[in-house]
Chains A and B, each alone.
Chain A
């Protein structure tokens, strides 16, 4: 069985939002600012014009971290949140009762309410669209102009993501929480 993860060359991100759009088009995500599975995080710049801190304006593309020890899965009272055979954290809308425990439990703020199904939704690495059709890239990875993302099987030593994680330094977000995220930020 595969163990899917994603490496992000976040320093190449130009915050063009191609990924956000591709995600919405592929996965039929509702319009609106609150409905998005992925996003590019950035803070307001620090300093005073023209002495501005370039680093304070770094772009961090983000989405569900697909934790191996996912707090959202632990708190779900109906087992709507589950790990699929590829280790992808999924939500079964049939079981979800919108108690929103998972939304509070997620340290990465990766979950939101889908107003059509009135259940919680989040990134699923295009598991029910592209991956289900045998494609090997997610919509966000495929469309990215500067090729920030590398998606693949962490258990396959020959996969590009495994190679990249072996050879390049990387960090995970809030690693201290022990959630074991499968999104890796390459430095």
Chain B
């Protein structure tokens, strides 16, 4: 066999390595007025063979939390290796996991507490002590007000402060601060992340399920790119099998991705039309009676109504062909093949942000299609898995009389009698980020919100329409950010509190549910560098400073507190409002307490980072690469005997309660969902990547080594017509803004679409490598709000392209 795999060919053929920014980089530091050395080089150390020890920890380069063993030599982390003991990550560490070292030793890290001395957003700060930073949060400076002034002026309305956080193991710790503080305004990543998929499956089959890709024989992966957007164990389970050991993979994606490259069949679908595809599959299943009738009779609510809707609406493959761009005969084949393999067949639920406005209904249709075959809670299908219980750390949730409810705008019933909220039908715990932001900048709030605490979160980079986010941050009088790295959001901060990186702290033990459940913990590998601290220590210091003075304000305005004090004494009343209480103990103490009911668990987690009952008996190495975690007969493929876990115990085809909110009770197709792009324009697609995690890794030199910047995919023939060649700079503009990046002409994308990965094009000058590197998608993605949960619909923007 003749295969040409030369290094040079590789350099030519690959976008990622072709252009390297070898020229001098100059950047101004967030910390000093002067400029950095002209050329910044990053030294990469070789592992040495002398004294070394290993600490078991968990990765935080993305959301997966894979287990790692950190090699430490003379106090320096020289290598991160996979920890084979963890059933979720199964002895692997991806490129980002390996590059975690660079996140610790990144010279741009936030090193000291800082307070703003320049104009808002200008990025001029001065270094202060931790106490001075806490003092500034409480009392403000001549540049910004403190909590005391804000809460006094707002008469103890705790909701005048917004709290927001990104995903992470210590998000819970920060959330305890928010709960004790008493605000109702909490926004997390959910509405720019999994909200609609998680809820769609949640209301239909009872939970957002896992997929047993280790045993599935037939996998439809639609709008999910597991080869690039890595999820453990799904990525390993799927691609160890697809090309060799028998799992057939159907990839449905507008782009030819690495997942498509590993598939048996790739079908290019028009963006946003997956719902029509699923409805047509369902039509074939129902008309050819391919579904599991016994299962449906026993476990479905509203089946007849749904069947009637799908058939009477004539959702035939021939109907779907022009809508989706997928041939009718392929739809027939896939429906039949899926049924033939069921229940060892998976319509993969996916794990991504909302792309189209119909995403919630799409997820409902996918869940119902899967359940029609009885392929849930069963080996080789979608599974719920079991979860080992963990003793929760008690928080503090005082009731503040003056704290207002979440600012979200309740809808007065309109002419159709629809209730719900102004911007969306349902507001979930994590809120709707873009609708909250837009209401805020448009002065549509019910009360004043004047400040925000932002933990491990980068609203400037993480949601559509950056200009509006900047407006929001400018309007906030007090912005406190807790993060490891400078970011476009940190630039707008009034007080910057440096958290240490994940390799310098112990985080709360987490329980990982699944077919092979376990606990895992992130153990501290090295002491925090500079003056950075774990968030729990930061909150301990901060609450110690602010708790008493803020209670004084409550005392002034809160009549219930006044009454209670009269009835008892101030000290015992204050005990209910003492913000320091959740943070009294160290994370290590809390962790040991949380697994105290499992004998030997605490010690095992300290040493190996992973624990589950009977681990010593079950865990063994099977081959040079593979391990057994549980014997086959102990795996939790089924926890309910194949039944859904909704409150009714049935698959819910019809959600009557949604009708009153103006939402379709069943998944149906609406004409406005059809894909269309005005002539001369392109639909902008965005997505994730195996070497980068959103904006969080944008400054990582090891990862930039793999891909120095993002490129825009544009169809090769279209590029030719526009005279755009590889690496030509193009300007991409939408109705809200523009960005510039280099072109990658390719046949992997349709002529009316363009794509580039998210997380590049940062505007923060303190990021040596990420600053103005590549294009920023959120400066051009319009803020379309998905109607059910107010999620950001990210693939609804048309753009123009011009060579510059």
Are A31 and B42 interface neighbours, CB within 8 A?
Answer: yes
Q: CB-CB < 8 A to A78: which residues of B?
A: none
Q: How far is the CB of B406 from chain A (nearest CB, A)?
A: 40
Q: CB-CB < 8 A to A45: which residues of B?
A: 256, 746-748
Are A21 and B702 interface neighbours, CB within 8 A?
Answer: yes
Q: A14-B239, A59-B261 are in contact. Are A31 and B44 (CB under 8 A)?
A: yes
Per-position 1/0 for B248-264, Cβ under 8 A of A: 00000000101111110
Interface size on B, residues (CB 8 A): 79
Residue of A nearest to B66 (CB): A145
Q: For A20, give its contact among B232, B626, B706 (CB under 8 Å).
A: B706
Stretch at the interface among B96-104, B342-350, B382-390: B96-104
Are B44 and A14 interface neighbours, CB within 8 A?
Answer: no
Are B1 and A171 interface neighbours, CB within 8 A?
Answer: yes
Q: Which of B258-294 contact A (CB under 8 A)?
A: 258-263, 266-268
Q: Interface of chain B, helix or strand or loop or mixed? A: loop
Query: Is residue A158 within 8 Å, beta carbon to beta carbon, of the partner chain?
Result: no
Q: How far is the CB of B365 from chain A (nearest CB, A)?
A: 23
Residue of B nearest to A187 (CB): B1
Whole-angstrom CA separation of A39 from B397 in the bound complex: 53
Whole-angstrom CA separation of A24 from B47 in the bound complex: 10
Q: For A147, give its contact among B45, B46, B98, B626 (CB under 8 Å).
A: B626
Stretch at the interface among A79-87, A89-97, A130-138: A130-138
Q: Which of A8-35 contact B (CB under 8 A)?
A: 9, 11-12, 14-18, 20-22, 24-33
Are B20 and A33 interface neighbours, CB within 8 A?
Answer: yes
Q: How far is the CB of B439 from chain A (nearest CB, A)?
A: 40
Query: Is residue B312 within 8 Å, beta carbon to beta carbon, of the partner chain?
Result: no
Q: A45-B256, A62-B5, A173-B3 are in contact. Are A52 and B702 (CB under 8 A)?
A: no
Are B240 and A43 interface neighbours, CB within 8 A?
Answer: no
Q: How far is the CB of B62 from chain A (nearest CB, A)?
A: 12
Whole-angstrom CA separation of A4 from B705 in the bound complex: 29
Q: Which of B29-53 contact A (CB under 8 A)?
A: 41-42, 44-47, 49
Q: A14-B227, A28-B46 are in contact. Are A49 and B80 (CB under 8 A)?
A: no
Whole-angstrom CA separation of A146 from B18 in the bound complex: 26
Q: CB-CB < 8 A to B207: which residues of A?
A: none
Q: For B244, give its contact among A9, A17, A43, A44 (CB under 8 Å).
A: A9
Whole-angstrom CA separation of A44 from B98 in the bound complex: 27
Query: Is residue B681 within 8 Å, beta carbon to beta carbon, of the partner chain?
Result: no
Query: Is residue A68 within 8 Å, beta carbon to beta carbon, of the partner chain?
Result: no
Are B690 and A25 interface neighbours, CB within 8 A?
Answer: no
Are A15 and B625 interface neighbours, CB within 8 A?
Answer: no
Query: Is residue A72 within 8 Å, beta carbon to beta carbon, of the partner chain?
Result: no
Q: How far is the CB of B757 from chain A (nearest CB, A)?
A: 14
Are A41 and B6 interface neighbours, CB within 8 A?
Answer: yes
Q: How far is the CB of A186 from chain B (nearest CB, A)?
A: 8
Stretch at the interface among B87-95, B126-134, B177-185, B565-573: B87-95
Residue of A nearest to B753 (CB): A49
Whole-angstrom CA separation of A152 from B625 in the bound complex: 12
Q: How far is the CB of A59 from chain B (nearest CB, A)?
A: 7
Q: For B268, give its contact among A16, A21, A50 (CB under 8 Å).
A: A50
Are B49 and A133 interface neighbours, CB within 8 A?
Answer: yes
Q: For A16, give its contact among B20, B78, B230, B748 (CB under 8 Å).
A: B230
Are A129 and B702 interface neighbours, CB within 8 A?
Answer: no
Query: Is residue A119 within 8 Å, beta carbon to beta carbon, of the partner chain?
Result: no
Q: CB-CB < 8 A to B746: which residues of A?
A: 44-45
Are B750 and A28 interface neighbours, CB within 8 A?
Answer: no
Q: How far is the CB of A43 from chain B (nearest CB, A)?
A: 5
Are B261 and A18 interface neighbours, CB within 8 A?
Answer: no
Residue of B nearest to A150 (CB): B624
Whole-angstrom CA separation of A49 from B716 in the bound complex: 9
Q: A48-B747, A54-B260 are in contact. Are A144 and B92 (CB under 8 A)?
A: yes
Are B10 and A41 interface neighbours, CB within 8 A?
Answer: yes
Q: CB-CB < 8 A to A42: which residues of B?
A: 10, 13-14
Are B230 and A21 interface neighbours, CB within 8 A?
Answer: no
Q: Which of A127-181 contact B (CB under 8 A)?
A: 129-130, 132-133, 136-137, 139, 141-147, 149-152, 160, 171, 173-174
Per-position 1/0 for B214-248, Cβ under 8 A of A: 00000000000001101010011001100110000
Query: Is residue B722 within 8 Å, beta carbon to beta carbon, of the partner chain?
Result: no
Are A16 and B10 interface neighbours, CB within 8 A?
Answer: no
Are A14 and B262 interface neighbours, CB within 8 A?
Answer: yes
Q: A18-B98, A108-B6 are in contact. Are A28 and B45 (CB under 8 A)?
A: yes
Are B47 and A33 interface neighbours, CB within 8 A?
Answer: no
Q: CB-CB < 8 A to A62: which residues of B?
A: 5
Query: Is residue A184 within 8 Å, beta carbon to beta carbon, of the partner chain?
Result: no
Q: How far is the CB of B33 from chain A (nearest CB, A)?
A: 28
Are B243 and A17 interface neighbours, CB within 8 A?
Answer: no
Q: A16-B95, A25-B98 are in contact. Are A54 and B9 (CB under 8 A)?
A: no
Whole-angstrom CA separation of A43 from B15 in the bound complex: 11
Whole-angstrom CA separation of A25 from B11 in the bound complex: 21
10 A-B residue pairings within 8 Å (CB atoms): A12-B243, A21-B98, A42-B10, A45-B746, A48-B717, A50-B268, A52-B256, A52-B748, A109-B8, A143-B81
16 extra interchain contacts, Cβ-Cβ under 8 A, other than A14-B690, A49-B747? A14-B227, A14-B262, A21-B98, A33-B11, A33-B20, A41-B4, A50-B268, A50-B750, A52-B256, A52-B748, A54-B261, A62-B5, A136-B624, A142-B91, A147-B626, A160-B623
Chain A residues packing against B (C-beta within 8 Å): 9, 11-12, 14-18, 20-22, 24-33, 36, 39-45, 47-50, 52, 54, 57-60, 62, 108-110, 112, 129-130, 132-133, 136-137, 139, 141-147, 149-152, 160, 171, 173-174, 185
